[in-house]
A and B are shown apart, each in its own frame.
Chain A
Amino acid sequence: MLNYANLVSQGRAKAYGQPWSPEELEALMALEKARSLTRLEAADYIRNGIKTAEDYDKAVEKNFKPLGVEEAVKESAKIIEDRGKEIVKSGRKTKQ
């Protein structure tokens, strides 16, 4: 098991337990270099599917704020929670 706490906090892994794919890592290096970003900044854009310098420029132009790992974890937790709340609220009957 790799030390994902360190790797993610340095932008060197996609998420806990998930390394970058070789293609993503290549895109990360290229973006970091092309736009003089820190690895952590570039990593957030790659995670959000923005993988080229051109796409990065468009995202910045539109004032896009990429989600970081922690924010994404919070967001997904909220989505899961909301699904449960939704089903309870809708009052659907379960089979006996």
Chain B
Amino acid sequence: MLTTTDYTTLTQKLNEWYNESAKEKVQDWIGKELFDVSETNWQTYNYLILNGLAKFDRVAEGAQLPVASSVEGDSVTATQRRHGGRISITKDMRMFERYDQMQELIRSNVDYAFDRVDQSQADLLTNGFSGTSYTDIYGYSQANTTPDAVVFFSASHTNNQNSTTARNLIRNSAATANPALSRDAIITARKDAKTHKDPNGTNRPINLNQLIVSATNEDLAERVVFSSGVQGTPNVDLNPLKSKVSNILVWSRLDTRGDGTDTSAYWFMADSRNIKNTLKSPFAQKPQMGESTQVHDSLNWEYPIDAYYVLFLGQPFNCWGTTGAN
């Protein structure tokens, strides 16, 4: 039987299991590949878009270089939210030294914690096509607009300098928005992103070199991108996408949204160097297990697992998306 004198030893054991499980789970956490999950001390995180420095002129001999001043764009603030749960080590488990059950409890809950974080991040993408907010998997309202107050994937993102707009909603070569995954749509998205202009009218090319798909689209995505010839055709023309799209990220949480909607046709493209400027999820505390407390009546030892994080969208143009409906 485990008694209160074994408390420290048991807690150490549980922590070991927690760390083992968390280490494995972090490797499966796809969201961290795309989202900025850096740690922050700020309870309220402030993000400001800079619409770009626009000064690089020809200068006469001996003249002073013109000063570049930053043009501030839209801003957004996001306040950290606490998420967590408690694992109960019951008196029975301690009485009969059921380490097998305890280990399973820890493993299962650690898995669940990371699964929830990952799903909440995937949902920010799959909810990015309509409305201005949605109910997240925790039951709270989550905004799905970028700092310009426009839904994440849009053909008309606005700016605070002038009335020009810019898109990050994928279309095909016939200008139909929300195309299904195809070679044509990938090429058009890459072209649209490369010709992206900032509010000053300067071409700021975005290199969409990462394809993000659901598990349903995995096979098609790999054939479209990695075929040596043009996918689906009998000719022997080479497939330039093979070298342009350097990475396919298969994210099974895109198949079904947290609310149960089938979103398996949705797909996304990203500029892998800058995607973390778009998808923001700062953590004030990554999921971790704390010291237990004993519940008086049941004599359970309850171990809390909690985390502080928040989701929001930054500058939209490093991530492009489509529902694949057309």
Which residues of A approach B to under 8 Å, CB–CB? 1-4, 6-7, 10, 12-13, 18-22, 25-26, 29, 32, 38-39
Contact = CB atoms under 8 A, between A and B. Distances in A.
B145 A19 contact: yes
5 contacts: A1-B78, A2-B75, A7-B148, A12-B160, A38-B163
Nearest to A28: B156
Interface residues of B, number: 22
A22 B148 CA distance: 12
B145 A25 contact: no
A3 B158 CA distance: 14
Contacts of B165: 29
Nearest to A22: B151
Given A19-B149, A22-B154, A25-B150, A7 B132 contact: no
A88 B15 CA distance: 65
Contacts, number: 53
Given A7-B74, A10-B160, A22-B130, A2 B151 contact: no
Contacts of B145: 2, 19
B160 to A, nearest CB: 6
Contacts of B130: 22
Contacts of A19: 132, 145, 149-151
Interface string B208-225: 000000000000000000
Interface of B: 74-79, 130-132, 143, 145, 147-151, 154, 156, 158, 160, 163, 165
Given A13-B149, A19-B132, A6 B74 contact: yes
A25 B156 contact: yes
Given A19-B149, A39-B158, 17 more contacts: A1-B77, A2-B76, A2-B143, A2-B145, A2-B147, A4-B149, A6-B74, A6-B75, A7-B74, A7-B149, A19-B145, A21-B131, A25-B150, A25-B154, A26-B156, A29-B156, A39-B163
B325 to A, nearest CB: 14
A7 B147 CA distance: 9
Contacts of B148: 7, 12
B83 to A, nearest CB: 19
Q: What secondary structure prevails in chain A residues at the interface with B?
A: mixed
Q: What secondary structure prevails in chain B residues at the interface with A?
A: loop
A3 B49 CA distance: 12
A92 to B, nearest CB: 37
Contacts of A12: 148-149, 158, 160
Contact of A3 (B74, B131, B150, B163): B74
B150 A20 contact: yes
Nearest to B151: A22
A10 B163 CA distance: 10
Contacts of B150: 19-20, 22, 25
Contacts of B163: 32, 38-39
A67 to B, nearest CB: 20
A6 B148 CA distance: 10
A1 B160 contact: no
A79 to B, nearest CB: 26
Contacts of B78: 1
Contacts of A2: 74-76, 143, 145, 147, 149
